[in-house]
Every structure is written in structure tokens, then in C-alpha cells.
């Protein structure tokens, strides 16, 4: 669940339509019981973009498995496309703190590292240099651009797949259109979302016998709903539902405030 919440999606690095901002708050529940809260801020300008998320465990879960984490991505808007140049993530539990960084150039990983360096496991499928080319980092991967001139909230948003590298694993995320719905956040957005089936396909960097990997790869009932960032053709997750042996896990926006930003006027003499 933690992996999927951080991964979300990413598809084609196509031109953004304009500029917009999102300030959102999310709540995670397990069988209806609150277990975590987080925040997500996205800022898309005419030449640069940034996205940052933070969160932590709450309620019963915090009492015996407390943890927190942050993630961020920055990059340029080149010919309208969101092109990440850097990704950072940090997770802290009662046992340790781990930091991940990735440097990218046009979708290719130039450098990455995990601190502290994880031990080598002979059962882990090796990530090759080829696996780190033509990929998205997890945060930029959360920004789904729908091509064309029509309404971005359409079945076309659920077409395609995304190659993702998170510093440890290389995997594919695939979507299929499921339905349209209407949502209402406690604060902010009230309107339609497009609901997609989400499929997780591990490629490298994982241990095949790990139960959680087997479980997620076999799942055919994971759903994700996308809502728009105002003024753009970018969609971001509004909620994510994952079946688990302990009951349904859900990450859902409680506040989803998005505003369009007019393009900056070029300076003249």
C-alpha cells in the first residue's frame, strides 16, 4: 500500500495546456479506520514545475508502527512537457531513516543512491542500466497528461502504461478505463473524476518470493480516480482503493484546492 501510494501513475510527457496549482490533503484508511494523513502540493509554471508530498501514520497504527515520509520532484517545462531533473524521498520509522535521490536527464537516470545503502540480496532481480532509461520518477509519475483538445476527464485518461524507477525497483503501472463518478471533497473540488483499474507489473529490483509483491502483481481490483488540476490537462489521483487481507485500504483527498494560473507575460523593452 505504501509503495502504491507513493507511485501513483505517469504516462506520456506531452505538453501541458497551461499553468495551475494544487494544494491537497489526503487521509488513508484501512477497513474504514484512519491510519494516515498527508499533503500534496503541485505547481506547474510556464517553464518549471515542482511537486511535493508529505505524510505519516495516525491513530491506532501510529501507536505500534509509527512512521513518516516526504517526496519531491522538480524539473523544467520543455515545449510544454514536464521533464523531471531531480527526485528526493525520505522515510522515517522507529527503526531507521532512509533517503533516496535520483537525478534524471530527459527520462534517463544519470545518478541515484539510497542512504544507508541497502544490503545486497542475491534473490533480488538486478536492475540494469537499460531498466533506468526512458523512465519516470515516482512523483512526476503522479502527473497524468491527457492529450488532445477535448475534456481531459474521459476514458482516454485510462489508456497506456508508465515505466517507473523509484531508486530501488523498476516496474510498470498500467490503466484500464472503468467508469466516471462524481466526488466532493470536504474542502475544494466537487465534480467528476475518471476511475481506472490499476495494474502493478514488477520488472526488476524486487525479490520474487516476497508475499507483498506477489499479492500486488496478482491484484485485478485496484482502482484509482483522477481529478483535474485547473487550467491544465494534468490529472492527479483523488482516491486510490487497494484490497488487502485486512480489508480495503483507501487513500482519499479530504481537501483538493486547485487554481489556474495565467501565463506570465514576456518582458518587452
Angstrom distance (rounded) from CA 27 to CA 160? 28
More confident residue, 69 or 64: 69
pLDDT higher than 90, residue 174: yes
pLDDT of residue 161: 87
When the pLDDT of each residue in the chain is averaged and rounded to a whole number, the result is: 88
Q: What is the mean pLDDT of residues 245-251?
A: 93
Q: What is the mean pLDDT of residues 61-81?
A: 81
pLDDT of residue 63: 67
Confidence of residue 265 (pLDDT cuts 50, 70, 90): low
More confident residue, 251 or 3: 251
* pLDDT tens sequence across 109-142: 999 999 999 999 999 999 999 999 999 999 988 8
pLDDT higher than 90, residue 191: yes
Confidence of residue 18 (pLDDT cuts 50, 70, 90): low
Angstrom distance (rounded) from CA 232 to CA 228? 8
* pLDDT tens sequence across 155-169: 999 988 889 999 999
User: Going by DSSP bridges, is the β-strand pair 108-115/144-145 parallel, antiparallel, or unpaired?
Assistant: unpaired
Angstrom distance (rounded) from CA 10 to CA 160? 9
Amino acid at each position: 500500500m505504501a509503495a502504491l501510494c507513493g507511485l501513483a501513475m505517469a504516462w506520456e510527457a506531452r505538453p501541458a495546456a497551461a499553468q495551475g496549482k494544487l494544494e491537497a490533503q489526503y487521509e488513508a484508511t484501512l477497513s474504514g479506520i484512519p491510519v494516515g494523513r498527508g499533503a500534496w502540493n503541485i505547481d506547474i509554471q510556464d517553464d518549471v514545475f515542482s511537486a511535493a508530498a508529505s505524510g505519516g501514520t495516525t491513530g491506532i497504527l501510529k501507536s505500534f508502527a509509527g512512521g513518516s515520509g516526504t517526496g519531491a520532484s522538480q524539473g523544467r517545462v520543455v515545449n510544454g512537457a514536464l521533464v523531471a531533473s531531480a527526485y528526493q524521498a525520505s522515510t522515517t520509522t522507529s527503526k531507521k531513516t532512509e533517503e533516496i535521490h535520483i537525478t534524471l536527464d530527459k527520462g534517463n537516470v544519470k545518478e541515484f543512491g539510497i542512504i544507508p545503502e541497502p544490503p545486497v540480496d542475491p534473490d533480488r532481480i538486478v536492475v540494469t542500466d537499460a531498466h533506468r532509461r526512458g523512465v519516470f520518477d515516482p512523483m512526476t509519475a503522479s502527473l497524468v497528461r491527457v492529450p488532445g483538445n477535448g475534456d481531459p476527464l474521459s476514458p482516454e485518461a485510462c489508456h497506456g502504461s508508465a515505466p517507473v524507477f523509484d531508486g530501488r525497483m523498476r516496474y510498470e503501472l498500467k490503466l484500464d478505463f472503468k467508469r466516471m463518478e462524481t466526488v466532493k471533497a470536504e474542502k475544494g473540488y466537487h465534480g467528476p473524476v475518471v476511475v481506472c483499474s490499476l495494474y502493478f507489473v514488477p520488472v526488476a529490483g524486487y525479490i520474487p518470493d516476497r508475499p507483498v509483491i506477489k499479492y500486488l502483481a496478482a491484484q485485478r481490483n485496484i482502482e484509482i480516480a483522477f481529478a483535474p488540476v485547473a487550467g491544465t490537462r494534468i490529472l492527479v489521483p483523488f482516491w486510490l482503493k487497494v484490497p488487502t487481507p485486512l480489508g480495503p485500504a483507501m487513500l482519499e483527498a479530504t481537501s483538493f484546492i486547485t487554481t489556474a494560473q495565467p501565463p506570465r507575460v514576456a518582458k518587452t523593452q
